[in-house]
Structure 1
Amino acid sequence: MSPLPSRTTQRNSLVKPLIPTALLTASLLAACSSNPTTPATQATRPAFVSAVQVTATDTPAGVAQRLGGTIISWPTDCAGSCTALVGLAERPAATLGAQSTGTVEANRDVFSAGGAITAVMGGSRHYMTGSRHYMTGDFTAPWSSGTYSPIPENAPLWQKIGLEQAHSLAPELGAGITVAVIDSGIDLTHPAFQSSLTASGTWKDFYGLDNLPQEEGEIGVGAYGHGTNVAGIVLQVAPAAKILPIRVLGPDGSGDVAGVAQAILYAADQGAKVINLSLGSLENSSIVEDVIRQVTARGVYVVAAAGNDNQERIVYPAALATKKGSFGEYLLSVGSSDLNDLKSSFSNYARTLEIVGPGENVYAPYPDNMVAAWSGTSMAAPMMAGGLALALGQELRVAGKDLTKKMAESAFDVYNNGANEAYKDMLGVKGRVDLVKFLKDTTRQ
């Protein structure tokens, strides 16, 4: 891989406080810490964001002045009524009127990554931090030749979902399909991604406000490595797919409504056919809901994690997956199961949950040429994203709008013989993903 371009924003040594406990619960972070490498640009994040309708006669300066805010994004080629995002320091005065201010929501740290790191490995040196064991060094396999190959530690997971046979059923391996990973960024220099990323001109960082979605942080702290792991899982399932890296989360795993909304639209505009959202919030964002409606209406698949607080509820935007129209057709909610097809202790569950995948101790690339295992619904979601990429790389024999439905209906029955009795009908339509049956049901063999 060629050297990375320089960042357009400067990094200062700023200390970012811990997320409050209440927000941690809402955003489902299993581990969180302050980090001294927060981008300087994040100090000016607006507290609120407004999605306001504008026309071709409106100007950014005029709208910003009317609302007393700053323009975050402005539509191009607006022929009728379009939406602009405006950052606000406080809620606008009621005298402006709802039509003038549009939809106003809290912006900062509404979304967060979920999951917990369980192991890191990578060479001859090792050290201990608490109960975690890390290894560092000149680890390059299984990417020493620049070609991605399965990680041996994941063999039981891949056997469970039939990955080896799935690859024989979908020999294109996802070629020609772009999967956008909207997350904490990825380690752009990791050898696992040498030939698996979209062109660097397409990369985007809506957290650091530049075009370099590089992971930031330190080993074992917060969400450092989360996006790298998620992208690596996609590639183990669909090795020939391309990853579009988009960063919306900081080192502590939190991110803003404006960043997530912009990232989803941007991914679709860049040609992503599948978008992976291993992030969520207990509160629905109507702004994010609207952009998901827009991209799913364009036939873009969105895969979203269900959350990790062991509750009978699904976080947003995964909770939108059973809405009528394009939401139900192109948005897929994903929970986690273990290798015995039992609900993972951390996974959320609900009668509206569509499918689960084996999301415990999933090994994938980690920053600095290492490998790490994470557990969470965040790890199950990219298995579905990769599975969709496998199918989309082949000739389909079902309508595109039926693909997520077929994935859920072809799953292995995790309720058989009384299993998961306490969670009956709350771990998906049938249960755990079965890539072999899914591909046989949806692609021409």
Structure 2
Amino acid sequence: MKRTYSPLMLLTLTLATACSNVPPASQAQGTPERFGHVAIVPLQSSDTPEDLAQIVGGTVLEWNDCAAGEHCSALVGLNHDLKAQSVGALKGRDIYVEPNRDVFGGGGAMTATMGGKISMWSGGKISMWSGGKISMWSGGVFAPLPENTALWKKINLEQGQLLAPRLGAGVTVAVIDSGIDLAHPAFEGALSDPGTWRDFYSNDGVPQEEGTFGVGAYGHGTNVAGIVLQVAPQAKIMPLRALGPDGSGDVVMIAQAIDWAVARGAQIINLSLGSTEVSKVVQEALQRASDQGVLVVSSAGNEDRNKITYPAAVAETREVGNSSLSVGSVDLNDLKSSFSNYASNLEMVAPGEQVYAPAPEGRMAAWSGTSMAAPMASGALALALSAGAGPAGLTNLVKQTAANVYSNGANAAYAGKLGEQGRLDLKAFLSSAVH
């Protein structure tokens, strides 16, 4: 069951008038229609959503306006084959149709049963300030969550935060995931305007996590968002729910969430999710994000395979390589995590084991997975942007300044498959990014 929130949290969402205009039909509240197929239809200046819906006999989900340098197309949900007369009526346009597969999943697992602990949250909000000064560290201990002290020292978080004293202020990170616990005290003052929130799984404006504690993906998105804020405590989180309680989401939901985040001002998108199948519909959404200079961070997957999941697998391609980043996981000794995927096209790693963060129902809990490593990189990018670094080339810089995880024969079985260098180093990255 979803919780009840104040009227402010339930503001009616307005349509964007720029790049991803969403027709009113898709804004109706309630359980969304699940489409069997989704089509990309190139647009002409005379097209209207109403005319296009009638021609193809489907539902127009997105209307990406024609503008210089932007892709000009509509996303249409279909529950039937596209008829020959429909194709003919569209004057020979290069229409692409793919199954709306439910193939995306959020990785990682709550690891309280593996020596961790679950307890009620007692640290107040994550963005802790005292008299205008940073109070995140006390005597070398990470104040909000002492359990993460060793982990944050490994990536030089304290030194990195000193190099970027605005701590992510002015930067919005869209977390496309299973939702978050919107009422958790750790997120007080840390979320974007409610008008930017969206639940694509339930088709409403309240992306609240749903499920049973300790089962499935319940808590996944809350943990991911909490990790971003521990690295960049003054950043804003834009919560977007595109995964259900079991951690799965379909092509339409992921693509819509990416376009939504871009249209509503996110500078960074965190995708702690992946699929073994490539989707052109999602790929075009990623391309639109890249065209707008939005940085996208994706997790590599948790199957211990010599192949990383999509969209992490395309993060270094020519099309989106200047704005995307793939992240795998290592332990505190910089050894590949037993679960982490690896590959020659994996760009970097971060410590993703036993990472404590907020959990639903006002709690805290530890999760392990490449899903936990990715938001560390997202937080790092937020620190750099808030310190005045431009987005161009920033994903390349963060991997180029990574700490070497291959020295003295370490990770010999994975040489060159945990990134060119390896593990996130905030001190080295921010020293290069802001000086």
Q: Are the structure 2 counterparts of residues 181 and 175 from structure 1 closer, same or farther at C-alpha, using a change threshold of 3 Å?
A: same
Q: Are the structure 2 counterparts of residues 40 and 176 from structure 1 closer, same or farther at C-alpha, using a change threshold of 3 Å?
A: closer
TM-score, normalisation: structure 2: 0.86
**1:56 corresponds to which of 31, 45, 51:** 45
For 1:37-436, what aligned pairs fall within 5 Å after superposition?
Answer: 41-42=31-32, 44-75=33-64, 82-93=72-83, 96-97=86-87, 99=92, 102-119=95-112, 135=118, 139-143=120-124, 147=128, 150-325=144-319, 327-396=320-389, 400-436=391-427
Over residues 134-178 of structure 1, what are the superposed CA-to-partner deviations in whole Å (9 max), with x where a residue is unaligned?
Answer: 756xx3411179848531111111011001111111111011111
Query: Does the aligned pair in 1 maintain the 2:30–2:204 contact within 8 Å?
Result: no
The CA deviation at 1:92 is 2.1
Query: Does the aligned pair in 1 maintain the 2:178–2:218 contact within 8 Å?
Result: yes
Over residues 380-408 of structure 1, what are the superposed CA-to-partner deviations in whole Å (9 max), with x where a residue is unaligned?
Answer: 00000000001111133xx6322111111
Paired with 2:414 and 2:218, the residues of 1 have a C-alpha distance of 32
| 2:152 match: secondary structure | helix
Paired with 1:313 and 1:333, the residues of 2 have a C-alpha distance of 12
Paired with 2:116 and 2:121, the residues of 1 have a C-alpha distance of 19
The CA deviation at 1:62 is 2.6
The CA deviation at 1:257 is 1.1
Q: Counterpart in 2 of 1:16? A: none
Q: Counterpart in 2 of 1:28? A: none
Give the CA RMSD over aligned residues.
2.5
Q: Counterpart in 2 of 1:36? A: none
Paired with 2:156 and 2:299, the residues of 1 have a C-alpha distance of 21
Paired with 2:86 and 2:271, the residues of 1 have a C-alpha distance of 35
Paired with 1:329 and 1:202, the residues of 2 have a C-alpha distance of 26
Gaps of 5+ in 2: 13-28, 129-135, 137-142
Paired with 2:116 and 2:231, the residues of 1 have a C-alpha distance of 27
Over residues 121-145 of structure 1, what are the superposed CA-to-partner deviations in whole Å (9 max), with x where a residue is unaligned?
Answer: xxxxxxxxx8898756xx3411179
| 1:73 match: secondary structure | strand
| 1:49 match: secondary structure | strand
Q: Deviating runs (4+, > 6 A) in structure 1? A: 6-9, 77-81, 130-134
| 1:328 match: secondary structure | coil
The percentage of counterpart residues that share the same residue type is 53
Q: Are the structure 2 counterparts of residues 64 and 272 from structure 1 closer, same or farther at C-alpha, using a change threshold of 3 Å?
A: same
Q: Are the structure 2 counterparts of residues 344 and 145 from structure 1 closer, same or farther at C-alpha, using a change threshold of 3 Å?
A: closer
Q: Which amino acid aligns with 1:365?
A: P
Q: Counterpart in 2 of 1:23? A: none
Q: Which amino acid aligns with 1:433?
A: L
